[in-house]
Amino acid sequence: MKKPQLLAPAGSLKKLKIAFKYGADAVYIGLPAYSLRAKTDFDLKSIKAGIDYAHKLGKKVYITINIFAYNRHFKLLPQYLKQIKKYQPDAIIVSDPGVLAMVKKILPQMAIHLSTQMNTLNYEAVKFWQKQGVSRIILGREASLKDIIEIHKKVPKMELEIFVHGAMCMSYSGRCYLSAWQSGRSANLGLCTQPCRWNYKVYLEEELRPGEMIPIETDQNGTYIMNSKDLNLMAHLADLIKAGLISFKIEGRTKSIYYLAVAVRAYRQAIDLITPKTKNQKAQKQNLKLLEQELNKIDNRGYTTGFLLGNESYNREEFKTSKAMSDWEFVGEIIKTQKSQKAQKQIIYIRPHNALDAGEEVEIITPNNTYKTKFKEFFSEKGKSLAKIRGGTEDVYQVEISSKYDIVDMSLIRKKK
């Protein structure tokens, strides 16, 4: 079984480095003006730095230019593409045919990936895009496993990719206009305000009684009738590989570094677990279950397999709340480690993101392991002993722990709520 690529989101240079540290083979990034995630921290300078960083590691970077473009976007796009050409990314992700044509003109040797926004769901569409010079298609999220298998058989030379984890849009392949109508901010330009997750009160209007709005009883909070659960396909990775997919994509360029690290690590370990042939299927399934449990330790709205199996009916939405929740809280990142003068001890430097008390049980997450421990006390940069630290600043604190833990820079800390 050939090992597929693990493609991670990166909303900043820091997140790009985290993604690679925790096992991603490639990342997708973009400038806010041309990307479906306008709230990201990349500019041309950091894009170049990210590509250089990735290539030194032997990793890949894909640039998203996947908005549905208006005339005004083409005034600066040629200049942007000429600059991007100098940085030598590994592919451009597009959705708009006009953008596709311009990319082919200015970057004729560049690999072009077709965004999921183009909702490609059948082999004839795949053949069409293949003739347009597209080398990879990110299939629409409405594609079932049966559809994917047939598409691969009909067009075996086309690279196929799908999203395997992350937030789901309630609209067809993410092509939603609710935000544009209600907030004046278009989801198709990366500015979605997520009105599908707002709290609505729902009414019925009977045909012979126009104007008489009959409330549908839920509770005092209304209902979240369009609030999709999050996608989670970890249990089906082996079937997806057999179906012909060569890349698994995680959603979340605006998510936290904790979300990114845990999701990427879980899928990295799952892919590495299932791709070698093994006779011990029972042990493999048990280990996969443990990795699935890791995904419950990051915020989510409940999980769904979406349209992959075609049989979830009304189980794709979470009607009671739109909040993303888990029982675990990200409390800090480790930015530096050093040896202690004490035997069998090491010093770690923590930048807290939330409150943490001395004596609380925590888990330290590294790219390869998770360690349970307690911190006896914290020390400020001036050496003052502290019983509690809080997030919200750039302050860094020192902690002494056992040297038996293999802690590295960019390790993260979490605790149970």
Same domain flag for 391 and 281: no
pLDDT for residue 396: 96
Are 26 and 89 in a shared domain? Answer: yes
Please indicate, yes or no, if residue 11 is contained in any of the structural domains: yes
CATH number, domain containing residue 59: 3.20.20.70
Q: What is the pLDDT of residues 360-375, one digit of tens each?
A: 999 999 999 999 999 9
Query: Same structural domain for residues 291 and 355?
Result: no
Residue whose C-alpha is closest to residue 43's, from 54, 35, 32 = 32
Same domain, 96 and 40: yes
Nearest CA among 362, 358, 368 for reference residue 398: 358
Amino acid 224: pLDDT: 67
- 295 domain-assigned: yes
Q: What is the pLDDT of residues 223-263, one digit of tens each?
A: 666 678 899 999 999 999 999 999 999 999 889 999 999 99
**Is residue 350 assigned to a domain?**
yes
The CATH number of residue 388's host domain is: 2.40.30.10
287 and 407 belong to one structural domain: no
The pLDDT of residue 350 is 97
Region of 252 on the Ramachandran plot (φ > 0 left; ψ -120 to 50 alpha; else beta)? left
> Looking at the structure, do residues 259 and 342 belong to the same domain, yes or no?
no
Asked if the structure places residue 213 within a domain, the reply is no
Per-residue pLDDT of the chain (417 residues; tens, 9 = 90+): 789 999 999 999 999 999 999 999 999 999 888 876 666 789 999 999 999 999 999 999 999 999 889 999 999 999 999 999 999 999 999 999 999 999 999 999 999 999 998 999 999 999 999 999 999 999 999 899 999 999 999 999 999 999 999 988 766 666 666 666 667 766 665 667 776 677 767 777 777 778 877 666 555 555 666 678 899 999 999 999 999 999 999 999 889 999 999 999 999 999 999 998 777 888 888 999 999 999 999 999 889 998 898 765 556 665 556 566 889 999 999 999 999 988 999 999 999 999 999 999 999 999 999 999 999 999 999 999 999 999 989 999 999 999 999 999 999 999 999
Q: Is residue 317 part of a domain?
A: no
pLDDT for the residue 415: 97
Question: In degrees rounded to 5, what are phi and psi of residue 17?
Answer: -65, -40
Helix axes 257-274, 281-294, angle to 10 degrees: 170
Q: What is the pTM of this model?
A: 0.88
Same-domain status, 138 and 77: yes
145 and 289 together in one domain: yes
Contact 196, 176 (CB under 8 A): yes
- Beta-strand pair 136-138/397-402: unpaired
The confidence score (pLDDT) of residue 276 equals 86
Q: What is the structure's pLDDT at 399? A: 96
Contact call for residues 322 and 298 (beta carbons, < 8 A): no
- Chain Cα centroid distance, residue 79: 29
Instruction: Say what the pLDDT of residue 40 is.
Output: 76
Domain containing residue 121: 5-173+230-304
Write down which residue in 272, 304, 336 finishes a domain: 304
Q: Is 55 exposed, middle or buried (0-12, 13-18, 19+ CB in 10 A)?
A: middle
Q: Is 210 part of any domain?
A: no
Q: What is the pLDDT of residue 273?
A: 94
Q: What are phi and psi of 341, to 5 degrees?
A: -70, -20
Pair (296, 338) in one structural domain: no
User: Could you tell me the two tokens for 71?
Assistant: 């005339």
Give residue 388's pLDDT: 96
Kindly state whether residue 401 falls inside one of the protein's structural domains: yes
**Nearest residue to 66 (alpha-carbon basis) of 139, 142, 118, 11:** 118
Does residue 337 share a domain with residue 273?
Answer: no
Would residue 294 count as lying in a domain? yes
The residue among 229, 272, 194 whose CA lies nearest residue 4 is: 272
What sign does the dihedral 46-48-51-52 (CA atoms) show?
A: negative
- Taking only the tens place, the pLDDT of each residue in 321-352 is 656 688 999 999 999 999 998 899 999 999 99
Q: Does residue 402 share a domain with residue 253?
A: no
Count of residues making up the chain: 417
State the total domains in the chain. 2
Beta bridge partners of 388: 357
Say yes or no: 292 and 151 in one domain. Answer: yes
